[in-house]
């Protein structure tokens, strides 16, 4: 991450610095393609190896407290934070974003998940509709998929030309350098899932009425193109994995561990101070008539449960 006016404050893992990763200051790519392949080749997990809900909630609770501290700093400092989530289908982007935003204010943390572009948006400069959602002072904007659609799903599924993809890959690192130079703290995550685990999750969606909306015709068509997505991912990394905006790869075959790893790492990238404990005492409340009953007619929701 590039240096900014925020660089003097401590981050979450500066209080645990031995476990933190350091990003090089030079402009070379910081993830080698072979290393990326090794890091994303984990087999599907046995159910017994997955983190249990009780342990997950125990680990998540203090991280949520740290996210509140980060939120307070963002508001006070006027910081601008932009988080990008990309990855394989079923890799858990939505669940990870929900875990991040569960205990913070939607007035500070804003999720952007743009639909298919309109005809008007198709006539614009490609990045134009994304720029409108970039963070202002005191905001954390989370992109659930982003401008990298052009290098990923649009390319693999044939929705854009190779010339357009090449133009995008040639210019995206420069755009992100301008973002960082303007004071935006940009963090990019790629969530990776094994082919076996992806199959298991897609099969689970078929008969689950809570998840069937996630199983679109596009998902089914994409399922057949694992190698094409791998090649597109690697070329995207090669073009856009820079010192000022590196990609961070997260294995998510175990969704719970993946979410915790993302949140802990995100906190390490934001230079916020620890949250000071604030003593709060409720003021005395006066109820003049505790037996008062309203005479205004109302409609009550039936008590079915």
Q: What is the DSSP string of 105-174?
A: -TTTEEEE---SPPHHHHTS-TTHHHHTTS--TTEEEEEES-GGGTTTHHHHTTSS-HHHHHHHHHHHHH
Which residue intervals of the chain are DSSP H helices?
A: 33-39, 53-77, 93-101, 119-122, 128-131, 153-156, 162-181, 195-206, 217-223, 226-240, 255-269
Q: Are 243 and 27 in contact (CB under 8 A)?
A: yes
Q: Are 109 and 95 in contact (CB under 8 A)?
A: no
Q: Which two tokens stand for residue 227?
A: 């190698």
Q: Which two tokens stand for residue 99?
A: 């875990």
What is the pLDDT at residue 28? 39
How far is Cα 91 from Cα 247, in angstroms, rounded to an integer? 16
Architecture of the domain spanning 12-269:
3-Layer(aba) Sandwich (3.40)
What is the pLDDT at residue 278? 82
Domain locations in the chain? 12-269
What is the pLDDT at residue 18? 43
For every one of its 305 residues, what pLDDT tens digit does the chain have, with 9 covering 90 and above?
444 455 455 555 555 444 434 333 444 333 333 333 334 444 556 666 899 999 999 999 999 999 999 999 999 999 999 999 999 999 999 999 999 999 999 999 999 999 999 999 999 999 999 999 999 999 999 999 999 999 999 999 999 999 999 999 999 999 999 999 999 999 999 999 999 999 999 999 998 999 998 888 888 999 999 999 999 999 999 999 999 999 999 999 999 999 999 999 999 999 999 877 788 999 998 888 888 888 999 999 999 99
What is the pLDDT at residue 80? 98
């Amino acid at each position: 991450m590039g240096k900014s006016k925020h660089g003097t404050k401590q981050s979450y893992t500066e209080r645990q610095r031995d476990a933190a990763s350091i990003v090089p200051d030079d402009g070379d790519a910081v993830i080698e393609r072979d290393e990326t392949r090794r890091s994303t080749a984990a087999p599907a997990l046995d159910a017994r190896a997955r983190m249990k809900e009780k342990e997950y909630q125990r680990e998540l609770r203090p991280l949520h407290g740290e996210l509140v501290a980060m939120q307070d700093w963002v508001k006070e400092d006027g910081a601008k934070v932009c988080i990008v989530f990309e990855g394989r289908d079923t890799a858990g982007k939505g669940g990870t974003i929900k875990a991040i935003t569960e205990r913070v204010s939607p007035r500070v943390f804003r999720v952007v998940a743009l639909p298919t572009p309109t005809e008007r948006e198709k006539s614009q400069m490609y990045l134009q509709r994304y720029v409108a959602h970039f963070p202002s002072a005191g905001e954390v904007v989370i992109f659930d998929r982003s401008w990298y659609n052009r290098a990923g799903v649009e390319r693999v599924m044939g929705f854009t030309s190779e010339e357009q993809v090449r133009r995008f890959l040639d210019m995206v690192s420069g755009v992100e350098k301008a973002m960082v130079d303007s004071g935006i703290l940009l963090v990019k995550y790629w969530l990776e899932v094994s082919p076996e685990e992806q199959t298991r999750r897609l099969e689970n969606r078929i008969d689950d009425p809570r998840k069937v909306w996630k199983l679109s015709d596009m998902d089914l068509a994409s399922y057949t193109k694992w190698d094409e997505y791998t090649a597109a991912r690697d070329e995207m990394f090669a073009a856009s994995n820079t010192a000022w905006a590196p990609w961070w790869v997260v294995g998510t075959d175990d969704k719970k561990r993946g979410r915790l790893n993302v949140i802990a790492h995100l906190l390490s990238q934001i230079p916020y101070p620890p949250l000071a404990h604030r003593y709060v005492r409720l003021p005395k409340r006066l109820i003049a008539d505790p037996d008062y009953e309203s005479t205004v007619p109302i409609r009550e929701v039936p008590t079915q449960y």
